[in-house]
Structure 1
Amino acid sequence: MKPITKALFPVAGLGTRFLPATKAQPKEMLPVVDKPLIQYAIEEAYEAGIREMIFVTGRTKRAIEDHFDMAYELETELAAANKHELLRVVQSIKPDDLECVFIRQPKMLGLGHAVLCGSLLINGEPFAVLLADDLMVGEKPIMRQMVEQYAEWRASIIAVQEVPPEQTRRYGIVAGTPVRDRLVDVSRIVEKPAPEDAPSNLGVAGRYILTPGVLDEIRNLPRGVGGEIQLTDGIAGLLRREKVFAYRYEGRRYDCGSKEGFLQASVELALEHPQIGPGFRDYLASLRESGRV
């Protein structure tokens, strides 16, 4: 197996849970503190050694392409004004060795279909999938943890976390045999089961490393839950002929596809921000003292 050099980002969704904010901008461009969601995911993949980023986009996602393109006018103005720190920030968005490729998903037929749209660019190699809605933070970046697991096991790796039983309808749920403390040899994966049908409490988070065999499985899938082509169903098919492991990552996940999760991420990452953190902490303390929270 080759090393992981490609990451796929399915970003074609409409972001309807954030309307009206997402009427004219992609949900992946919503800022958490001072960076858009998609940039957190790209930085996570980059820190894991991945250099080719494949974006599966839709008609309204031009802002994502612009964000990772050179902003000639802005950079020229910042340089002329001697605002070198801001210029460094703008130029650091896309390092010179980072390649961004964009491909359209003509119809939104599910996560499995989005992955299949990028199959020609994946070119028969193992690849990562990162969902920008899931902002994930760890002392060691989550995708780097997974790349290290892949290097050891040379098999598909799925990020999972323990979820409350009443929330199994929100996740793909895996079951299997523990291999070590944080690793499970998967024997079954089910998309969004009812609590009484869930095979475990391990829910799939928005990070995957997949072998190219999953693409053959997805191509032959009928539409599943919600009339969509589910990546979970493709992984279930892959289990018949390959090992798949579930990895309980070390870190925190914010479900930024929901308003509550987005606000939680904004508050917690603001508190950790080296420049604004101390002042923001004082502000929250003043709210508490005044009885407003």
Structure 2
Amino acid sequence: MKYKVVLPVAGLGTRLLPATKEQPKEMLPIFAPDGRGGTCLKPLLQLVFEQLYSYGFREFVFVVGRGKRAVEDHFTPDAQFVEELERRGKTEHSRMVSEFYRMLSDSVLTWVNQPSPLGFGHAVLLTRHVVGNNPLVVQAGDTYIHSDGNRHISRVIEVFESTGADAVILLKRVADPRIYGVVEGRSIGGGVVEIEGVEEKPERPRSDLAIMPLYAFRDSIFRALEEVKPDKKGEIQLTDGIQKCIDWGGKVYGVELDAGYVMDIGNPMSYWEALQTSYRLASENKQ
């Protein structure tokens, strides 16, 4: 299948203010291997892109909003910058930047504007004319998920293609599901759950299976999101679109993340934890 990857990065990042007043939260750095046995810092969004590129995806749709110009600038190759690094003798830095630019040049990047932050589901819906009837992979731009050999991605894609599902979602069991989207369903073996219902940040969760922000969808998700009404904050939630697919009789499955790390930089404490986890993984050369 030919997938298009949707990366919503239009959120305001208010929980990380004032650091994110001018700098998009997705561009905040975490640690990564430098390719020579050491560590370096990379914007989290760059790591997300590189991981999806290494899996084999080549078409990316970035959903950006006001104040996100830094994202487009970073993802635009700059030959003069590389030349300046080489002139100054910064050969290792030049090598890392050049490798990133090689990936960009080998990919098709499309930019979609979300003028107002009207929700994760709204961001996905805005890409419908770019994605067309292709299957799509959606990953939040502020969360990096690590597993050996990118197993979490391959599992999601394998279940998506083998079942003919309308949607497949990455899941993880958590101690407090109230801050996540939560699913209810029945296990069908092999760490796969047939999902019967989803709910965004419930006060009384029906399970401990939380949604991690990696999804595979068919284009039916766009029709579902078009039918979703805004929530109390005026936002269109992706979970509501998924529930609409279920209500229509669509097949929706979840894949449990059995081993791996989820680095979410949505708030100061989770960002601090992401820095610690990424440093440990980078030092072990496991990212």
Task: Give the TM-score of the pair, scaled to structure 1.
Answer: 0.87
The residue aligned with 1:243 is 251
Give, in angstroms, the shift of residue 83 of structure 1: 3.7
Ranges in structure 1 where 5+ consecutive residues have no aligned partner: 278-293
Correspondence 1:268-287 to 2 at 5 A: 268-274=277-283
Of residues 97, 112, 117 in structure 2, which corresponds to 1:108?
A: 117
Q: Is 1:163 aligned to 2:210, yes or no?
A: no
The residue aligned with 2:188 is 179
Contact 2:170 2:214 (C-alpha < 8 Å) held by counterparts: yes
Cα gap change, 1:276 to 1:129, in 2 (>3 Å): closer
Give, in angstroms, the shift of residue 82 of structure 1: 4.8
Asked which structure has the greater RCO (Cα within 8 Å, sep 6+), the reply is: 2
Q: Report the secondary structure of 2:19's partner residue.
A: coil
Distance, in Å, in 1 between the alignment partners of 2:96 and 2:270 is: 26
The residue aligned with 1:221 is 228
Which deviations, in whole Å up to 9, do the C-alpha atoms of 1:166-197 show, x marking residues without a partner? x33311111112111310011111121112xx
Correspondence 1:3-82 to 2 at 5 A: 3-33=1-31, 34-82=41-89
Distance, in Å, in 1 between the alignment partners of 2:72 and 2:107 is: 13
Give, in angstroms, the shift of residue 8 of structure 1: 0.5
Correspondence 1:140-219 to 2 at 5 A: 140-141=149-150, 142-155=152-165, 156-164=167-175, 167-195=176-204, 198-219=205-226
Which deviations, in whole Å up to 9, do the C-alpha atoms of 1:210-229 show, x marking residues without a partner? 11101001111111253211
Give, in angstroms, the shift of residue 143 of structure 1: 2.2
Distance, in Å, in 2 between the alignment partners of 1:110 and 1:16 is: 14
Give, in angstroms, the shift of residue 161 of structure 1: 0.8
Identity %: 34
Contact 1:5 1:49 (C-alpha < 8 Å) held by counterparts: no
Distance, in Å, in 2 between the alignment partners of 1:276 and 1:128 is: 26
Kindly name which structure, 1 or 2, has the bigger radius of gyration based on alpha carbons.
Answer: 1
Distance, in Å, in 2 between the alignment partners of 1:275 and 1:189 is: 37
Ranges in structure 2 where 5+ consecutive residues have no aligned partner: 32-40
Task: Give the TM-score of the pair, scaled to structure 2.
Answer: 0.89
Contact 1:130 1:208 (C-alpha < 8 Å) held by counterparts: yes
Which of 69-78 and 227-236 deviates more? 69-78
Contact 2:171 2:210 (C-alpha < 8 Å) held by counterparts: yes
Give, in angstroms, the shift of residue 251 of structure 1: 1.2
